[in-house]
Amino acid sequence: MRGPLAVALGILTAIGGFLDAGDLVTNAVVGSRFGLTLAWVVVMGVIGICVFAHMSGKVAAVSGRATFEIIRERLGPRAAGANLVASLAVTVLTLTAEIGGMALALQLASSVERRLWMPVAALAVWLVLWRVRFQVMENVTGLLGLTLIGFAVALYLLGPDWGELARQTLQPAVPPSEGAAVYWYFAIALLGAAMTPYEVFFFSSGGVEERWTVKDLATSRLNVFVGFPFGGVLSIAIAGCAAVVLLPLGIEVDAMSQIVLPVAQAGGPLLLAVVIVGLVSATTGAALETALSAGYTLSQYLGWSWGKFRRPAEAARFHVAMIVALVVAVGVLMTGVDPIAVTEYSVVFSAVALPLTYLPILVVANDPEYMGEHVNGRVLNAVGTLYLVILVVASAAAVPLMIVTEAGA
């Protein structure tokens, strides 16, 4: 994977990971209620996902194996099994949110009822996973997702009080209209949206799909340090748009149309159309990632043949696992559950699962048997350990805060 599209995997991971349905909804909700007073959490999430995605990509490039394969081998079936159960449950929940996000975005574009779009969206995802090569999938979805830069354009066109936005960002405080518990609940939700477990498994397995070697370590770093910060900037732009337009009007986000309302106000139908393309692309990219991650983690744990670099007939169980995940996602959505609510719960439960996901990655990245001279240095270990402490605290606090605040109500 070289040339001008060398960072496409990182861009896809940023657009389909950082800017998935969870991030779109959570940042818009936070912006409409807290302004930019929680922007620091996005920055923290960007740094955290960069640190662990870098480790995960390095493991794939040096060992030639995906992270989850090594986790089972290194930690044993029980510890890896706990990781598998937590990660797979959160990944399927996230996939449900992404299929729902695709349906909402398509409803926004067509005015056709969202439940009619849900099976169509899942079928489209399956067809891409079945027939489209990995490089084509990542390049097309990632590059189309770049149209979400329309949120940044909209924020500029709105002509906000930049000094006030800077004050909110640099001097964060709990707004008088919100309680401290609700503030911290949404802080954890934002962290969960930024560091969703499937991101690192997709990134690592994608490196194997692309046949990375030690020579590709620079490409891996470029993917990480271009893709994820780009996603973080657009996340803050989404929150900023909501802060400028929705917060003063007291509008709380509970529909996809409200997320794009500032875009329509700032740039009219043309910019809105561009952003809707981005919404469809971002949620589609995230659905592809999460479906692949469900297949990756289960197949790697059980020792099945896996990967899009293999023909479907050579990795049948891998493809069946993805199909089952898609069927479960559509089945949940067809009950009439609100996709926005599913998205909000998915990012909170992602936060709960974070320590189980990231601790094994830190362990493997320090094992000379797999990494040789490329084991983590002191600085990377120190930052990774600090983040693990933060993630453990966030994981422990997530459910109690969800109960106390009634999911941020």
Q: Which two tokens stand for residue 274?
A: 């561009």
Domain total for the chain? 1
Q: What's the confidence (pLDDT) of residue 1?
A: 46
pLDDT band of 11, cuts 50, 70, 90: low
Q: What is the mean pLDDT of residues 258-278?
A: 93
In a domain, 409, yes or no: no
Residue 73 domain flag: yes
Domain residues for the domain of 377 are: 8-404
Here the CATH number for the domain that contains residue 143 is 1.20.1740.10
Asked if the structure places residue 244 within a domain, the reply is yes
Confidence check: pLDDT of 8 > 60: no
The model's pLDDT over 159-214, given as tens digits with 9 standing for 90+, comes to 999 999 999 999 999 988 888 999 999 999 999 888 888 888 888 888 888 788 88
Q: Domain for residue 38, yes or no?
A: yes
Structural domain includes residue 152: yes
Across residues 212-223, what is the average pLDDT?
79
